[in-house]
Structure 1
């Protein structure tokens, strides 16, 4: 005959194992939340810039001054190539733009920044314009300004990202 104590599973071990696993899952969850907060903090400190635009030649700058359509095309290309503009994100965040069937980059350039819409998750338009009233007063598209000068000046593009210089990056 078999010994009943040996063939039946230990019924007290199962609840202990479940409690141990539950405690481990909770600890991992808390650790995960801490790591997510740290990632967000680090993302706020270091801007994500896909491509910094080349400075146009003096002849091109003159042509853009004389022909607003050429300047708009140049700014549109800068926005699209920057890495800070995310068309899919923009359409998801602003369903009215998607419903209207508008090109998200064109909408942001012509209307979105003025409406304080963000071009993507890593650039906060309202933050940039509130922090740098000179840009808000100039009427420049804040992302275009950041790409042309703000990045080099160390300006902050979202809450939690400190300016790189003591003057706060303003001119």
Structure 2
């Protein structure tokens, strides 16, 4: 995660509106920064799936969460085209500085949509990509800006809910969606 995403983690947690009992998928969980926060927020009645394509990150997440006594976390080995979760198994899918890494956007979004329960939400936090404004490494590294990202997600069967302003975010945005009814 970027420094500002780390520094704003408690504001981000509040903005997700995660509650006790929720089932959350932290997609692209990395070292598990948000996985741990989510596991504490959902409590013993909830569950967090830390989805990663890196076995090394998954081993780290598993070890650190066991050491922390958090037994409501499952480490899930995802694929470039799937988060690997059953249909309607989560209330929230969270991608933080992950969307720009997606290689198979359409099948991945279809997998996310399938995994979301009715009324579930998708949260995407990623880098602003604005030619002439964003830093060069962002322009070189991030394939799609917020407008294109939103369009891709809406085309995959999601309805835009809102953009949430996080005061500490200078280079990132926070947008939320819900799954549209139907197949």
> What TM-score, normalized by structure 1, do the two folds share?
0.25
Structure holding more strand per residue: 2
Structure holding more helix per residue: 1
